[in-house]
């Protein structure tokens, strides 16, 4: 496999032996050997979580261990109290410069146009996914299968297009290659906790939203040096994934002024490894993915509240309008019949609830036509 090439596999295949952790050395020049030692730590923690086996505490995580993903302890309260005054306003959904709502998609249809026909004739759906985001899209070490909340949705889409027991090829792709994978036709769609925003809707088409998250901080519980979006960030190392909305946020005016040193890596898992090894002080990521990291490693936690409102959508080629409408039809049914069961299976024990204590619900679909 060439460096930078997405991994291709069929659902249920055993993972390829010796697969490298792509780009894990990051862009700060650290050695691959150090990064791979971090991967071993994460693998041990993941095995402990999934299989219930004993695993050693990660290097940067010595001390107490408690439930994951609460985000409302003493550190969380301190983060809320110390947030920069310029950033205290409650987050609002993004509106594009022309007044367009980026989350508005095409009305659903059960019809078959060129894109749907192409997939049916091929007899197989090709989907870009993650294999490193615990609970969303991750490889279960006991089975070798990629599973999670996103993968349940993929199966629902594939079943609608191809019938029972559909043939699905998963291509695991880094965060910053999601758009190009769709544009170049390497995949039919990307289902990978991908935020719908104004910049991306000019590049790819999106379905209606199937989940809503926001940017939130993940920090080590015992050695937290960052307490929120405040002066504690100045000079501290903050890890983000390349091409993510976290990177965009921290490079924007206002957040850039907080003075954090931005460490850019290829995947969210790389940030957890760095944090475990003491190579970074905090991670900024989607609250949903951060909850997965906290569930994977109880020595880290979400703090504060999300800084943004970010809907997740299925990304497709802008030319494949019939496929967009077909996926929206699947989502209409999925919200009513399967979304809650998938949420309870994967996320309910780890996601931070809304302020009134209610569980999240699937976002209401928005249409522009």
Rounded to whole angstroms, the Cα distance separating 170 from 154 reads: 10
Rounded to whole angstroms, the Cα distance separating 226 from 213 reads: 21
Mean pLDDT taken over the chain: 80
Query: What is the average pLDDT across 154-166?
Result: 98
Residues 331/207, Cβ–Cβ less than 8 Å: yes
Cα 335 to its chain centre, rounded Å, is 19
**Bridge partners, residue 189, by sequence:** 127, 316
> Tens digits of per-residue pLDDT, 334-350?
999 999 999 999 999 88
Rounded to whole angstroms, the Cα distance separating 293 from 250 reads: 20
The model carries a pTM of 0.76
A 10 A CB-CB count for 353 gives 12
Six-digit token string for 203:
């590049």
Nearest to 35 by CA among 291, 212, 267: 267
3-state secondary structure of 326: helix
H or E segment to which residue 240 belongs: strand 237-241
Higher pLDDT among residues 316 and 68, named by residue: 316
> Tens digits of per-residue pLDDT, 257-268?
999 999 999 988
Crossing angle for the helix pair 321-337 and 114-122, nearest 10 degrees?
A: 80
Rounded to whole angstroms, the Cα distance separating 365 from 206 reads: 12
């Amino acid at each position: 496999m060439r460096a930078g090439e997405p991994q291709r596999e069929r659902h249920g295949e055993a993972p390829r032996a010796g697969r490298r952790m792509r780009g894990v050395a990051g862009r700060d020049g650290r050695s691959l050997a150090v990064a791979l030692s971090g991967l071993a730590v994460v693998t041990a923690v993941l095995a402990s979580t999934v299989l219930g086996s004993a695993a050693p505490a990660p290097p940067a995580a010595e001390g107490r261990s408690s439930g994951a993903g609460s985000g409302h302890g003493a550190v969380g309260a301190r983060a809320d109290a110390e947030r920069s005054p310029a950033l205290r306003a409650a987050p609002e959904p993004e509106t594009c410069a022309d007044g367009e709502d980026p989350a508005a998609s095409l009305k659903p249809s059960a019809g078959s146009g060129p894109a749907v026909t192409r997939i049916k004739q091929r007899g197989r759906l090709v989907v870009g996914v993650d294999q490193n985001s615990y609970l969303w899209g991750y490889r279960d070490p006991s089975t070798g299968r990629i599973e999670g909340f996103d993968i349940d949705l993929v199966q629902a889409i594939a079943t609608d297009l191809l019938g029972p027991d559909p043939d699905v090829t998963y291509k695991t792709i880094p965060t910053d290659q999601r758009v190009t994978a769709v544009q170049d036709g390497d995949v039919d769609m990307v289902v990978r906790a991908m935020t719908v925003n104004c910049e991306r809707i000019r590049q790819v088409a999106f379905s209606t939203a199937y989940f809503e998250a926001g940017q939130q901080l993940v920090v080590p519980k015992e050695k937290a040096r960052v307490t929120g979006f405040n002066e504690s960030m100045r000079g501290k190392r903050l890890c983000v994934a390349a091409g993510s909305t976290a990177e965009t946020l921290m490079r924007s005016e206002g957040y850039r002024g907080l003075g954090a040193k931005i460490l850019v890596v290829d995947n969210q898992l790389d940030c957890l490894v760095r944090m475990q090894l003491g190579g970074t002080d905090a991670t900024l990521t989607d609250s949903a993915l951060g909850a997965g990291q906290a569930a994977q490693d109880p020595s880290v936690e979400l703090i504060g509240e999300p800084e943004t409102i970010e809907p997740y959508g299925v990304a497709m080629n802008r030319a494949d309008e019939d496929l967009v409408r077909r996926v929206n039809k699947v989502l209409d049914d999925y919200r009513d019949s399967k979304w809650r069961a998938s949420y309870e299976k994967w996320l309910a024990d780890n996601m931070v609830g809304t302020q009134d204590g209610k569980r999240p619900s699937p976002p209401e679909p928005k249409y522009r036509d």
